[in-house]
């Protein structure tokens, strides 16, 4: 049996976001800010992990719960990204597209939630 969560566009976008976060925090001033770096990495992976968890759930209520948790984790990504953009102005160009993802992906997840509620 396949793993449907891997095919979700929102899951693919969150995986790309997590990879971008890892790259950003490895090669920028963020690499030396261990607290901010680690928080960003954990939160970005949490988004992917919660969407992956959906694949193991059967009931709509549980599935919605994990999509909602993933949306919350996206907020945990966007907040430190916004702080980093202000603290390390040289990273603004790299961070801005990631913040855009943090704004767009919740709408994708909300669409999945709405579909499950039908």
pLDDT tens-digit series, residues 40-84? 999 999 999 998 888 888 888 998 999 999 999 999 999 999 999
Q: What is the CATH number of the domain that holds 29?
A: 1.20.1440.60
Range of the domain at 102: 4-117
- pTM of the predicted protein model: 0.87
CA 25 – CA 19 distance, rounded (Å): 10
pLDDT tens-digit series, residues 5-29? 566 777 889 999 999 999 999 988 9
Q: How many domains does the chain have?
A: 1
Instruction: Quote the tokens at residue 111.
Output: 């669409």
* Block residue for tokens 């969560």: 5
């Amino acid at each position: 049996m396949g793993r449907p969560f891997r095919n979700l566009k929102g899951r693919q976008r969150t995986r790309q976001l997590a990879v971008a976060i890892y790259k950003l925090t490895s090669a920028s001033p963020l690499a030396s800010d261990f607290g901010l770096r680690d928080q960003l990495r954990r939160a970005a992976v949490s988004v992917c992990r919660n969407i992956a968890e959906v694949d193991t759930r059967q009931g709509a209520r549980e599935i919605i719960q994990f999509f909602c948790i993933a949306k919350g984790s996206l907020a945990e990504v966007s907040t430190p990204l916004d702080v980093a953009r202000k603290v390390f102005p040289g990273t603004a160009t790299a961070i801005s597209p990631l913040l855009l993802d943090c704004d767009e992906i919740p709408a994708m997840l909300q669409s999945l939630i709405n579909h499950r509620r039908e």
